[in-house]
Structure formats: structure tokens, C-alpha cells
Amino acid sequence: MPVSLASSRVIFEALKKCDVRLVSALPETWLVHLIRMADDDPEMILVRLAKEEEGVGISAGAHFAGVKSAMLMQNHGFLASINGIVSFAHLYKIPLLMLISYRGSFGERDPWQTQGGNVTEALLRAMGIPYSFLDGIENVEKRIRQAQTLAESSLQPVALLLTRDLMWDE
């Protein structure tokens, strides 16, 4: 499987450096290595979800408890989480660090992913969610740290879009 193991490792180590101790996730192809790394790490609590919106509540609970968390999901999982983000995270000022695999963008071969790719950034903007990209291995650690810093200081959800350039070894 050409999902980049090296990039996944760099992302996971960056999360650990940011003191992330709980990760919620719903499997998707690009995230398989990351989820496995979280599962194998005794310092990390991995919560495998039935649906991504649960992750908003779980991250809120972790935040109340003083535990830093991250959400791993596909952009379609972000779409499935929108009510939770608006009527919990935004309403109650809950910091969320959302790592979203950006399917359906340039280079996408799976027809079923393409519609979600069209609307992802427009929805992030409409919701007022600050976002940036993880698109090169050299930027990963800094961007994740910056995203978490902003989420914690502004007490709001912040998104990082995991791009094909980073996640897929063509």
C-alpha cells in the first residue's frame, strides 16, 4: 500500500511532541499507519469510533480533564461531524485539533471521493475554522505545533488538511 509510512511516522511523532495523549479515529486508507502507531503506543489512548462526530464529544471530555487530544478523520468524516463542531465545540469554546485527510482533490482516482473534495475548504471557511495544509514532510512538526497552539489559545477547532503529496507515495 503506497500510503507513506515515513510521513505517517513524522505526523505521529509531532503529535506526541505536542503532548497529545488521546487520539480518536475512524479508519481510512491514508490514516492506517497513523492509527496503528497510536494503537501500538502505550502512552497514547486510541479511541476507535463508530462515527466521527463522537470524536467531538470525546475531545471535549479530554479537554475538560486536561488531556490534549487530536482527531484523525477523512474529510467525509469532517462532514459527518459538522453539527457536533458547531453546537458543541464552537458553542462551548472547545479546542479541537483536527487532522483531516483531504480526499477528492487533485490526483484523486476514486470517483466516490471527488464530491467531498470539492466542498471541504468551502465548508471550513463557511464555519470560520482556521485551516492549513500538511503538504511537505519538512513542515509537519511546525504546522501541527502551530495548529495546536492556535486551537488552545483561541479555544476553537483548528484543521490541518493532510494532502496527497504528503500521504501517498506515488
Partner 1 sequence: MLRLDCLRAVYPELENCLVVTIMGATAAELHSLGHRPNFFYLQHAMGLASSTGLGLALSLPNQKIVVLDGDGSLLMNLGSLSTMARYRPQNLVHIVFDNESLLSVGGFPTATSTGTDLEGIARAAGIPMVLTVRTVEDFKSTVKNALDGEQLATIVAKVEATGPSGYVTDISLLENRFQFRRYIQSLKNR
Residues lying near partner 1 in the complex (CB under 8 A) are found at: 22, 45, 47-51, 53-67, 69, 83-84, 87-88, 91-94
Write down the least CB distance from residue 111 to partner 1, Å: 27
Q: Nearest Cα to 89, choosing from 60, 127, 113, 69?
A: 60
Whose Cβ is closer to partner 1: residue 21's or residue 143's? 21
Sequential DSSP letters for 79-143 = HHTHHHIIIIIITTT--EEEEEE-TTSTT---GGGHHHHHHHHHHHHHTT--EEEE-SGGGHHHH
Write down the least CB distance from residue 54 to partner 1, Å: 4
Write down the least CB distance from residue 65 to partner 1, Å: 4
Whose Cβ is closer to partner 1: residue 31's or residue 140's? 31
Whose Cβ is closer to partner 1: residue 57's or residue 117's? 57
